[in-house]
A and B are shown apart, each in its own frame.
Chain A
Amino acid sequence: MLSTVLTAVPADSDWINFDVAALAQNFWSATFDGLTFGAIYALVALGYTLVYGVLNLINFAHSEVFIMGCYAVFFTLSFLGFGPSAPNLSFGAILINIILALIAAIVASAVTAFLVERLAYRPLRKRNAPRLVYLITAIGASFVIQYLIFLWRGPLPEPALTMFIPTPIFEVFGTIIDSQQIVIVVAAVIMMVLVDQFIRRSRTGRGIRAVAQDPDTATLMGVNKEKIIVTTFIIGGILAGAAALFYVMKIPSGVQYNGGFILGIKAFAAAVLGGIGNVRGALLGGLLLGLIGNYGQILLGSSQWTDVVAFVVLVLVLLIRPQGILGTSLGRSKA
Chain B
Amino acid sequence: MGAHSEKVPVPEEVPVPAHGSHKPAIEIVESLDVDEAVAEAAAPERDIDVAVGDDLVEVKNLTIKFGGLVALDNVSFTIRRGEILGLIGPNGAGKTTCFNAMTGVYKPTSGQVLLEGRQLNGMKQHKITRAGLARTFQNIRLFGEMTALENVVVGLDARHKTSVVGALLRLPRHQREEKSSIERGMALLEFVGIAEHAGALARNLSYGSQRRLEIARALATDPKLLCLDEPAAGFNPAEKEDLMALIRTIRDDGYTVLLIEHDMKLVMGVTDRIVVLEFGKKIADDVPHVIREDPKVVSAYLGEPEDDFA
The interface of chain A, by Cβ under 8 A from chain B, is 55-56, 128, 130, 215-216, 332-335
Contact = CB atoms under 8 A, between A and B. Distances in A.
Interface residues of B, number: 13
Interface string B97-138: 001100101000000000000000000000000000000010
B1 A55 contact: yes
A216 B137 contact: no
21 contacts: A55-B1, A55-B2, A56-B1, A56-B3, A128-B6, A130-B6, A215-B1, A215-B2, A216-B4, A332-B3, A333-B3, A333-B105, A334-B5, A334-B105, A335-B96, A335-B99, A335-B100, A335-B103, A335-B105, A335-B137, A335-B141
Contacts of A56: 1-3
A334 B99 CA distance: 12
A224 to B, nearest CB: 15
Contacts, number: 24
Main secondary structure of the interface of B (DSSP, over half): loop
A128 B9 CA distance: 11
Nearest to B3: A334
A216 B3 CA distance: 12
Contacts of B1: 55-56, 215
A128 B6 CA distance: 8
Contacts of B103: 335
Contacts of A55: 1-2
Main secondary structure of the interface of A (DSSP, over half): loop
A334 B137 contact: no
A334 B6 CA distance: 11
Given A55-B1, A56-B1, A334-B3, 13 more contacts: A55-B2, A56-B2, A56-B3, A130-B6, A215-B2, A216-B4, A333-B3, A333-B105, A334-B5, A334-B105, A335-B100, A335-B103, A335-B141
A16 B280 CA distance: 58
Nearest to B66: A332
Nearest to B96: A335
Contacts of B137: 335
A62 B150 CA distance: 40
Interface in B140-168: 141
Nearest to A213: B2
Nearest to B145: A130
A334 B96 CA distance: 11
Contacts of B3: 56, 332-334
Scoring B2, B99, B105 by chain A CB atoms within 10 A of each residue's CB, the highest score goes to B2
A335 B99 CA distance: 9
Nearest to A216: B4
Nearest to B67: A328
Contacts of A128: 6
Nearest to A215: B1
Which 3 pairs between the two chains have the least Cβ-Cβ distance? A56-B2, A335-B105, A335-B100
Contacts of A333: 3, 105
A128 B105 CA distance: 25
B70 to A, nearest CB: 17
A332 B107 CA distance: 10
Scoring B1, B3, B5, B100 by chain A CB atoms within 10 A of each residue's CB, the highest score goes to B1
B222 to A, nearest CB: 21
Interface string B10-53: 00000000000000000000000000000000000000000000
B143 to A, nearest CB: 12
A161 to B, nearest CB: 41
